[in-house]
Chain A
């Protein structure tokens, strides 16, 4: 099957999955408790006030109509209106999302680097104490609740040792402004990128300092699977002929391992990154709350305490679509890189 047909088939598969997800979320929010509007007010509220509230949010229409409006709205990028002040949820999602994206990117960097390096170390000293302790670490790190690790990290690095800050994303006045050409501004919302575009090394340094602890926490908790993956892959690869041949030719061991053997693991690691993206987002929700990181996860948690069900629905749907898109992208890249996998 050619690449093109694979891509088309894959996209066609994604569509029903997304539809199912959207429907599922819709049902959860509308059908489960019966009526999100009344739930928002808890108990007593005058019937007129309730009806008016529902009307402003479009919740007074029959379920089928609501469902179609919901789907059509999503196509236009409308994620609903917040129950708190009727402002569009999409606006708030897009203002909070870059922070989460930046956290996800840097956590992935740590997750993969720590996982791969440890996995390689484990495979090279097969069955030694080092191997076993790394494997135990891999399992144990997943058993730690990410917010507990975050709290511990805050205690140690921010409070006792004053090495890194542990709240918010940047301190006042330091937010990078991004690219400025003529009178036009453009900023991505990713502070590291923006400070590079602005050409401001101080801001870059500050952004990284604030990013470090949350990314370290989230990356550590999820690296276990990469350790296992790399270790398994390396154990197999290091026995193959071409590795023995390279060694025989006198190539340095580190080059053999990192240059030749690791390439084999590249694709599985890439796939695993795609699979782990969902876990990354889930972990981000908890990490952002722990570190007061102003991203989408913390926005979701805030909305929960305000019983803003429409906003919760919007965020959950956004997450779902995001995950579907990412896994689609990963599958396509994988198919492009590995001719063997074409359905």
Chain B
């Protein structure tokens, strides 16, 4: 009897307890469904526009390193001013480019690798109204255009210095584009892999790398993929150009590991060269005895064909159109079987550097039709790649579910550098990974011999402490910068752009996101390059007073 009563009492207590708790949950739950208060008090003065709201865009599919982290830091830094609210928007890389072309992003972050190693390559594609057209910022300053055109047409460094000083000053006055940081290149390999060169060109020269002991194949993992194709006339993404570099050949090369100075050019398909006094005519003597993969002899007709083709195709997304080859080169002449002459429109100072760039590489005329680009062909690597004068032949290229899966390079038996012992590794296998985490895990578990692009800074830091791998650091020439869409008010006002630039704390960004693996950048011309000035320093770092005063003047706050 007693037991029975006790059980009843317990059950009743449980019942009441449950009801009480359920009521608590219901009340709390309803409270929780009320919109949660924002991060800070939203103060609006009686006669004011309220806070300045920025729709800030970034790319979210891993094309740039740690974009989401960067965005979070930009947002925090802007909002520290107390007068700005940032709404972050993300887009995957293809959509990001579409949005850029549609000119709908008020503020967006972009990046840049050098094509040719000259300050012009960091200035013309950004600050010149035509050269910068691909960015769709709608920035146009005729004075700036004139200065840039003058600077790229002379070779005397002192004169160029004066021009670029002016350019950088106006750059800050207009604040159309704001450089943020410059970062190093990183590669991770097994300890017994050697020959990895990470120089200022940001190129990856696979033919210099020695494989792990006792093996003739190097397995490389990467998160990159080919964006368009590997045709010289269209490829303009990092990985596509890298395939061109390793399977194709150019007239000249920048000596790997050098600083890309005027004396650092080495023969490629050309053995010697000289320029006329006025800089408008360049003559190249070509290497003899070089053959294409089908046995055809390489000669000046192939060079002329390659350039004629690129210049006539001139595809919108090609490197030739982006750099403005047609503004530089007037015509290419095959003066004899092994000599080519370039007639230029302007005395382009970095012309030799441009010839070392993959956009100037020579294709196999039999594999590259004059009227269209060469695209990926499922199951046929040979038909997908018109380059075959380089150290490697592309022997296999496979895709799975629409994404690049694996590529194989085999040593090219016709390569002219074989006599010198290149390529050092006979076979390269490139495996494409879906994200940095998968790549880092693969490197740690030894699935790949080398990991190159893009590992997160935290991964690199932990790999530096890992004795089972070797971490290589290179010279940085990759930069990231903030763009403004001048079609969208109030970003057409240079003062507003300056205010945003001033609120940045580059050192904090670099330390937080990249753990010190990048350096702050105060000009579009990178640190270490000729004519660089820390131009943006004049606006200060985390200069909140400046930002607030400018925005308040415009009625915000």
A and B touch in the complex (CB under 8 A): yes
Residue of A nearest to B439 (CB): A167
Q: How far is the CA of A95 from the CA of B398 in the complex (A)?
A: 12
Residue of A nearest to B402 (CB): A92
* In the complex with contacts A87-B402, A96-B401, A42-B99 CB distance below 8 A: yes
* In the complex with contacts A45-B102, A168-B433, A292-B435, A162-B448 CB distance below 8 A: no
A299 part of interface (Cβ distance < 8 Å): yes
Interface of B is mostly: mixed
Nearest-CB distance from A46 to chain B (Å)? 8
B104 part of interface (Cβ distance < 8 Å): yes
Considering the complex, which residues of chain A in the window 122-163 have a beta carbon less than 8 Å from any beta carbon of chain B? 154, 158-159, 162
* In the complex with contacts A82-B402, A298-B434, A172-B95 CB distance below 8 A: no
Q: Which residues of A contact B92 (CB under 8 A)?
A: 305-307
Number of interface residues of B (CB under 8 A): 32
Binding site for B on A (CB under 8 A): 41-45, 82, 84-85, 87, 92, 95-96, 154, 158-159, 162, 165-168, 171-173, 292, 294, 298-299, 302, 305-307
5 A-B interface contacts by CB (under 8 A)? A42-B98, A167-B437, A167-B439, A171-B447, A302-B401
Q: Which residues of B contact A173 (CB under 8 A)?
A: 217, 219, 429
Considering the complex, which residues of chain B in the window 87-135 have a beta carbon less than 8 Å from any beta carbon of chain A? 91-92, 94-95, 98-99, 102-104
Q: Which of A158, A299, A306 has the most CB of B within 10 A?
A: A306
Considering the complex, which residues of chain B in the window 408-443 have a beta carbon less than 8 Å from any beta carbon of chain A? 429, 431, 433-435, 437-439, 441-442
Nearest-CB distance from A185 to chain B (Å)? 13
Q: Which residues of A contact B2 (CB under 8 A)?
A: none
Asked if B403 contacts A43 (CB within 8 A), the reply is no
Residue of A nearest to B435 (CB): A292
Q: How far is the CA of A45 from the CA of B217 in the complex (A)?
A: 47
Asked if B441 contacts A167 (CB within 8 A), the reply is yes
Asked if B95 contacts A154 (CB within 8 A), the reply is no
Q: Which residues of A contact B433 (CB under 8 A)?
A: 167-168, 292
Nearest-CB distance from A192 to chain B (Å)? 18
Asked if B91 contacts A42 (CB within 8 A), the reply is yes
* In the complex with contacts A42-B91, A43-B104, A306-B94, A294-B401 CB distance below 8 A: yes
Asked if A172 contacts B431 (CB within 8 A), the reply is yes
B7 part of interface (Cβ distance < 8 Å): no
Asked if B441 contacts A154 (CB within 8 A), the reply is yes
Asked if B61 contacts A305 (CB within 8 A), the reply is yes
B79 part of interface (Cβ distance < 8 Å): no
* In the complex with contacts A42-B99, A172-B406, A173-B429, A165-B401 CB distance below 8 A: no
Asked if B441 contacts A44 (CB within 8 A), the reply is no
Asked if A165 contacts B445 (CB within 8 A), the reply is yes
Contact partner, A158, options B95, B441, B448, Cβ 8 Å: B441
Asked if A162 contacts B104 (CB within 8 A), the reply is no
* In the complex with contacts A167-B437, A171-B442, A41-B98 CB distance below 8 A: yes
B475 part of interface (Cβ distance < 8 Å): no
Q: How far is the CA of A68 from the CA of B194 in the complex (A)?
A: 60
Q: How far is the CA of A162 from the CA of B435 in the complex (A)?
A: 20
B255 part of interface (Cβ distance < 8 Å): no
Q: How far is the CA of A168 from the CA of B92 in the complex (A)?
A: 22
B400 part of interface (Cβ distance < 8 Å): yes
Asked if A172 contacts B61 (CB within 8 A), the reply is no
Q: How far is the CA of A306 from the CA of B434 in the complex (A)?
A: 14
Residue of B nearest to A294 (CB): B400
* In the complex with contacts A84-B94, A158-B445, A292-B433, A167-B438 CB distance below 8 A: yes
Q: How far is the CA of A305 from the CA of B441 in the complex (A)?
A: 23
Residue-wise, chain B 242-254 has the 8 Å CB interface mask toward A (1 for contact) of 0000000000000
Asked if B402 contacts A84 (CB within 8 A), the reply is yes
Asked if B437 contacts A292 (CB within 8 A), the reply is yes
Asked if B442 contacts A168 (CB within 8 A), the reply is yes
B60 part of interface (Cβ distance < 8 Å): yes
Q: Which residues of B contact A44 (CB under 8 A)?
A: 102-104
Q: Which residues of A contact B291 (CB under 8 A)?
A: none
Residue of A nearest to B434 (CB): A292
Residue of B nearest to A291 (CB): B438
Residue of B nearest to A159 (CB): B444
* In the complex with contacts A158-B445, A168-B438, A173-B219, A96-B400 CB distance below 8 A: yes
Nearest-CB distance from B251 to chain A (Å)? 34
Asked if B98 contacts A45 (CB within 8 A), the reply is yes
Q: Which residues of A contact B402 (CB under 8 A)?
A: 82, 84-85, 87, 92
> 3 tightest A-B contacts by CB?
A292-B438, A171-B447, A167-B438
